[in-house]
Amino acid sequence: MSDHVSRILEQWSTHRPDLDCSPMGVIGRIERMSKFLAPAIESLIHSFDLSRIEFDILATLRRSSGPLTPTQLYQDTMLSSGAMSTRLEHLVNKGWIKREPSPSDRRSCTIELTQTGRENIDAIVTKHVNNERDLLQSLNLEEQEQLASLLAKWLSHHENK
């Protein structure tokens, strides 16, 4: 299994034999897989004139059980409030979402998909998931499950801190 990171580890063991670099074998590969996936995923999303962040916002709205506020959205996506405002403005102008005043709190508003926004994101999400399935083909389903399970274990320890 001679990948790029394994060659990096060999170089380190030659030039820094005092150092146990095995953590790089995990973290270096996580980062590297992430870097390979990004363009493959983004090229599909960009073909619908959406940035990755905008797609995430639309997908979050689609799978939620009702309208969300900008605050809920920027906390969920780890974005600043200012950046979220800019993104939402774009999505309103492009007809994806509608912004309406909150009935209970007059400082706030609710964000919701438009009719066509919902139809379009439904179609895109389907293509997106199939794209992801293709990208994972080099692992069989059992290996994919093992991988997901190990990542879930790590994440469950780090998300609530």
Partner DNA sequence: TATTGTTATACTCTATAACTATA
Partner DNA sequence: TATAGTTATAGAGTATAACAATA
Instruction: List residues binding DNA (CB under 7 A).
Output: 51, 53, 69-71, 78-89, 99, 102, 105-109
By CB under 8 A, is residue 35 in contact with a copy of itself? Answer: yes
Residue from 51, 106, 107 nearest 79 by CA: 51
Q: How far is the CB of 113 from a copy of itself (least distance, A)?
A: 11
Strand-pair partners of 110: 100
Question: Phi and psi for 24 in degrees, rounded to 5?
Answer: -60, -30
Q: Does residue 8 bind a copy of itself (CB under 8 A)?
A: yes
| Cα separations in angstroms, 10 against 7, 16, 17, 103 | 5, 10, 10, 62
- What percentage of the chain's residues is helix, strand, coil (to nearest 5)? 65, 5, 25
Closest distance to DNA from the beta carbon of 55 (Å): 11
According to CB under 8 A, which one of 53, 62, 90, 94 is a site residue for a copy of itself? Answer: 62
94 touching a copy of itself, by CB under 8 A = no
Reading the block at residue 45, the tokens are 């999303």
The site for a copy of itself (CB under 8 A) is made up of 1-6, 8, 11-12, 14-16, 19-27, 29-37, 41, 62-65, 78, 122, 125-126, 129, 132-133, 135-136, 138-139, 143-144, 146-159
